Amino acid sequence: MGCCKVPALIQAQVEMGLVNDVEHKSLFRRETDSPQRKAASLMEQGSLSPSFRERATKTPNNSVLKSFKIVILSNKLNLLLPFGPLAILLHYLTDNKGWIFLLSLVGITPLAERLGYATEQLACYTGSTVGGLLNATFGNVTELIISIFALKTGMIRVVQLTLLGSILSNMLLVLGCAFFCGGLVFSQKEQVFDKGNAVVNSGLLLMAVMGLLFPAVLHYTHSEVHAGSSELALSRFSSCIMLVAYAAYLFFQLKRQPSSYTALIEETSQNEESSDDDEDPEISKWEAIIWLSILTAWVSLLSGYLVDAIEGASVSWKIPISFISVILLPIVGNAAEHAGAIMFAMKDKLDLSLGVAIGSSIQISMFAVPFCVVIGWMMGAQMDLNFQLFETATLFITVIVVAFFLQEGTSNYFKGLMLILCYLIVAASFFVHEDPHQDDI
């Protein structure tokens, strides 16, 4: 009955001349918009994109040429795309591994960003739950592809160091830049974020550290029941447990905590009426699927040349392989996430920045790392969770430092600067660190 009174009252007012035609339309639009606003409150937290909303979407009808213009020609970063074919050409014309590695690295950068774009476009049609799973799968697909190629060639240490570098880069560099830039824009106040969610994320990161710590301790204390095999068996068992924990985490975030971001979505939705066209998908579902396939195949092709040139680049540039794997490769793979986190922080949306930075770290530590262990198990490669003492200690200290910075639920430019400086210390440490297991690379 209450729902019927409002339209009746409006009609009476229209008849009495108290409400003009424009006001009449706007009042009805508010009523019809309310279900969409309720649906918008279902946006997930963590690493999930803000465009994952369960809403009706208009399917664009693009030609092949228009689709190509939207995906390839609309982004200035795609000016770097020709460096990929140039790297392949140099591979067959010269033997300069340094240049091949550099050009491959630059060529992969725009591909990583476009993969994120295509995933978000596809998520517009799938709803929040499937969209979250897509984001979890494709969010770090560049690192996963590089890792699988390295596993196929037996470069287990490159896999371990690359994944470790992605975690360190997201927690220190990405989060630090977000805090720093956001703090400069809003220098007159302290930015705030969901403290409870940050504590949960810190706990998951500590669980990941636990998974990596015990195999290393078992190895260095020489307390294995079966020398050489207990460490590997523990790593594989822990990896399966971590994958189960990550699946439970996704379910918890997608199903149990939708209200955590209701206030955030209501705030951001105030500008929706003026930007409806921007929020609709630009390409159709099948276009997104085809572009995802093309981009993934292109990243896979370039990753093969990139991995093949790592050792030669290390010799040519006289830079440790550990520095290339931990610092250079992750910065390229996380380029789009760097920009996204900073953009959200400068709009005072720190929860989204934390979702990008910390959420991606959780994806890698709780999904990508154990996934590579399981894939290596299937391939017959002895990939384990023993990242060696120096690397495990670096990760442990990093998680503790970040957890301390997040415990208050506030940020400012000083905290961001401290995180960036911590990352510089980590980078310098790996620059002078000689990996004792060079034979495994």
This prediction's pTM? 0.75
pLDDT tens over the chain, length 441 residues: 444 444 444 444 444 444 444 444 443 344 344 444 434 333 333 344 444 444 445 677 777 888 888 888 888 888 989 999 999 999 999 888 899 999 998 898 888 888 878 877 887 787 655 665 666 567 677 788 888 888 988 889 889 999 999 999 999 999 999 999 999 998 888 899 888 888 888 999 999 999 999 999 988 888 878 777 888 999 999 999 999 999 898 888 777 655 444 444 444 444 444 444 445 788 888 888 899 889 888 988 888 888 888 888 888 888 888 899 899 888 877 776 677 788 888 888 888 888 888 888 998 999 999 999 999 999 888 899 999 999 999 999 999 999 999 988 899 999 999 999 999 999 999 999 887 765 555
Query: In the chain, where are the structural domains located?
Result: 76-268+280-432
CA distances from 257 to 24, 43, 57, 120, 250 (A): 36, 10, 24, 21, 10
Cβ atoms of 424 and 312 within 8 Å: the answer is no
Q: 76-268+280-432: which CATH architecture?
A: Up-down Bundle (1.20)
Distances (CA, A) of 202 to 184, 188, 248, 310: 25, 28, 16, 33
- 96 three-state secondary structure: coil
